[in-house]
């Protein structure tokens, strides 16, 4: 029985860094649309804060502030033109916002 050798995987070359490096922790510029979207979806941030507070024992009021910061960043980064390849429709805001909200709350706890 003859065996064929599988090709060896090699690393992809790294992309060249951009001319202007992003500042660590830089916040995207606000737009009227992104700020309104954040206000409209504030209950999403509050729900995430409530769930997180139940699991870690930190007061909800503390976590709501961090959740709001995460939601603002997610709304500013949200691109409604980005299409989900599985459904052919744009990604939902919650798909992008929940990881940012949770990350902001985890950072606050740390």
Inform me whether the pLDDT recorded for 1 exceeds 70.
no
Inform me whether the pLDDT recorded for 73 exceeds 80.
yes
Tell me the pTM. Answer: 0.69
The 3-state secondary structure of 46-98 reads HHHHHHHHHHHCCCHHHHHHHHHHHHHHHHHHCCCCCECCCCCCECCHHHHHH
In this structure, are residues 71 and 15 in contact, taking their beta carbons and an 8 Å threshold?
no
Q: Tell me the sheet residues that pair with 83.
A: 90
Q: What is the mean pLDDT of the chain?
A: 81
Inform me whether the pLDDT recorded for 87 exceeds 80.
yes
CA–CA separation, 105 and 62 (whole Å): 9
Cα dihedral across residues 82, 86, 92, 98: positive or negative: negative
Of the candidates 75, 9, 19, 6, which has an alpha carbon nearest to the alpha carbon of residue 45? 75
Structure tokens at 9: 């995987």
Structure tokens at 14: 């790294």
pLDDT at 17: 54
Given pLDDT bands bounded at 50, 70 and 90, which one contains residue 26? low
């Amino acid at each position: 029985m003859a065996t064929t050798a599988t090709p060896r995987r090699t690393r992809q070359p790294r992309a060249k860094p951009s001319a202007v490096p992003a500042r660590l922790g830089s916040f995207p510029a606000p737009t009227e649309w992104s700020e309104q979207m954040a206000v409209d979806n504030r209950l999403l941030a509050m729900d995430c804060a409530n769930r997180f507070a139940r699991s870690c024992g930190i007061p909800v009021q503390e976590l709501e502030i961090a959740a709001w910061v995460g939601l603002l960043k997610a709304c500013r980064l949200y691109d409604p033109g980005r299409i989900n390849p599985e459904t052919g429709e744009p990604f939902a805001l919650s798909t992008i916002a929940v990881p940012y909200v949770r990350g902001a709350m985890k950072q606050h706890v740390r």
